[in-house]
Amino acid sequence: MISLGNIIAFDLGASSGRAMLGRLIDGKIEITELHRFSNDPVQVGDRLHWDILRLYHEIKQGLLKAKNQGIELDSIGIDSWAVDFGFIGANGELVGNPYHYRDRHTDHTMEKLFAQLPASEIFKRTGIQFLQFNTIFQLFALKQANSPWLQEGNRFLMIPDLLRYFLTGEMHNEFSNATTTQLFNPVKGTWDQELLQQLGFPESWFCEVLQPGSPAGKLQESVCEELGIPSIPVYAVAEHDTGSAVAAVPATDRSFAYLSCGTWSLMGTEVQEPVINDMAQQFNFTNEGGVEGTYRLLKNIMGLWILQESRREWEKAGQSYTFPELVQLAGAAKPFGVFIDPDHPMFLAPGDMPARITQYCRETGQQAPETAGEIVRCILESLALKYRFVFEMTERLSNQTLNGLHMVGGGINNTLLCQWSANAIGKPVWAGPSEGSAIGNMAVQWIAQGVFKDIWEARRVIRDSFPVEEYMPEEQEQWSAAYERFVKLTGIAQ
């Protein structure tokens, strides 16, 4: 048996995080979960925060568990969700606890910023879709509120940047996450100086941008002393978790469609150059940085967040369901009863999703679902049908005919959603691997170490290492008819 080293991917999602150990054994990747922890937002007054110091604590617990199992590490990398950030002050300390992207401080900020700078100008410079929680709007909201963060902050660091800084003492911004801020110019390959000046954001806030696979320091002495471990190299991976998930797509064809499926659903294709034109802006697509200089032409879809929040609401009312139980109830419910647009603004903030689904259905002239099974079926069918809409837009924008859809992420454990996605798009769905972000994180570390020559060799090894489930489309006539009703009821094509 030939074994090549040990690495850890710290993969932080919007609801949980994990420390995943990766090894290459006889040419195949083996992963082991060393540590898993919840990532719970914290409401303080009117503000919703991330508990960034708790996340840092959990990263250290992952390193301790590796040490206590006698595992010597070659490197580590961190990926997380995008857009959120903190500031480091002149004394090197964190200024304020980062806001959660679902915090309401950006409500109505888009209109205020567009009054100062047209949306078309921003899109032309950045190629990034407009979402009210984008970093550009968060910073603008802080400026409008005269936040002390902006007076006291010297350096802007996104969530993985912050955690890397705590570990290494070095401050860098990473490419895949930097592009999501809507302040990075993909044509120039750097922060957009003119845009920053027009918005009054000092260029000095922003650090050098590292490409995925770049060395980003080593564990600093204080961390090593605290944990009793040697200094370990830290790499900047594709630190937006979707960038890491796409790196792990086990595609054979260089023209492929992907769906990173979890709390959010992110669908698109990998391109060599950003697609920045009127159609991309009209469809509200985005061009986010990927590995090896690629871009992810994609669109955000609300995803399983709506189901997760519905389950939380039922638990508060004393009705506890596991996710498999909810999927079983959905499978038994009447098909194509009601539809929602998962991306309607009413589904963005935390809250009573079953009540909001009822409200949406009534406002669109539909009979409201009554049972948990009917509500879950509505959510999953609506997601699958929205996937078809975005899949077809992806083909138009990229000028490709895509032969199927690669689904990665935890959402692939929902086999009903995988099958319904195949039914909706009328093409095969290939589901796997489920730990896509962690595996892509590892792949970039191994590329940086010279173990893999490039991302395509890494994808071949990933394909050989993890099972992929194929779902073929079924019930095409019924799903095509449902799609026509869905588009008409939701008005998404307008």
Domain 249-432+452-494 has CATH 3.40.50.11890: no
Cβ 478 vs Cβ 336: under 8 Å: yes
For residue range 266-295, what is the model confidence (pLDDT) as tens digits? Answer: 999 999 999 999 999 999 999 999 999 999
For residue range 26-61, what is the model confidence (pLDDT) as tens digits? Answer: 999 999 999 999 999 999 999 999 999 999 999 999
- DSSP H or E segment with residue 379: helix 372-398
Amino acid at 444: V
Which two three-digit tokens encode residue 278? 């009127």
For residue range 475-490, what is the model confidence (pLDDT) as tens digits? Answer: 999 999 999 999 999 9
- Give the pLDDT band of residue 129 (cuts 50, 70, 90): very high
Q: 272: closest CA among 257, 285, 259, 289?
A: 289
Residue 272's alpha-carbon distances to 11, 165, 170, 289, 294, in angstroms, are 26, 30, 30, 10, 5
Q: 98: closest CA among 186, 12, 175?
A: 12
Tell me the three state secondary structure of residue 154: strand
Annotate 413-424 with DSSP letters as a single string. G-HHHHHHHHHH
Question: In angstroms, how far is the first alpha carbon of the chain from the final one?
Answer: 58
pLDDT of res. 5: 84
- Give the pLDDT band of residue 194 (cuts 50, 70, 90): very high
Rounded to the nearest 5 degrees, what angle is found at the Cα of 253, between the Cα atoms of 247 and 256? 65
Domain with CATH 3.30.420.40 in the chain: 3-236, 249-432+452-494
pLDDT of res. 3: 56
- Give the pLDDT band of residue 15 (cuts 50, 70, 90): confident
What stretches of 412-475 show up as alpha helix (H) in DSSP? 415-425, 436-448, 455-465
For residue range 163-192, what is the model confidence (pLDDT) as tens digits? Answer: 999 999 999 999 999 999 999 999 999 999
Architecture (CATH level 2) of domain 3-236: 2-Layer Sandwich (3.30)
Instruction: Give the mean pLDDT of the chain.
Output: 96
Q: 347: closest CA among 395, 400, 299, 309?
A: 309
Distance CA 489, CA 483 (A): 10
Q: 78: closest CA among 243, 223, 250, 277?
A: 243
Per-residue pLDDT, averaged over 95-124, amounts to 97
Of these residues, 79, 103, 241, 341, which one is catalytic? 241
φ, ψ of residue 34 to 5 degrees: the values are -85, -35
Cβ 238 vs Cβ 291: under 8 Å: yes
For residue range 403-442, what is the model confidence (pLDDT) as tens digits? Answer: 999 999 999 999 999 999 999 999 999 999 999 999 999 9
Q: What is the dihedral of CA 107, 150, 239, 76, to 10 degrees?
A: -140
pLDDT of res. 2: 57
pLDDT > 50? residue 203? yes
Rounded to the nearest 5 degrees, what angle is found at the Cα of 278, between the Cα atoms of 273 and 280? 55
Which two three-digit tokens encode residue 228? 């009793």
pLDDT > 60? residue 1? no
- DSSP H or E segment with residue 119: helix 119-126
φ, ψ of residue 31 to 5 degrees: the values are -120, 145
CB count in 10 Å sphere of residue 451: 18
Amino acid at 103: D
241 noted as active-site residue: yes
Report the percentage of the chain scoring pLDDT > 70.
99
Indicate whether this model's pTM tops 0.85: yes
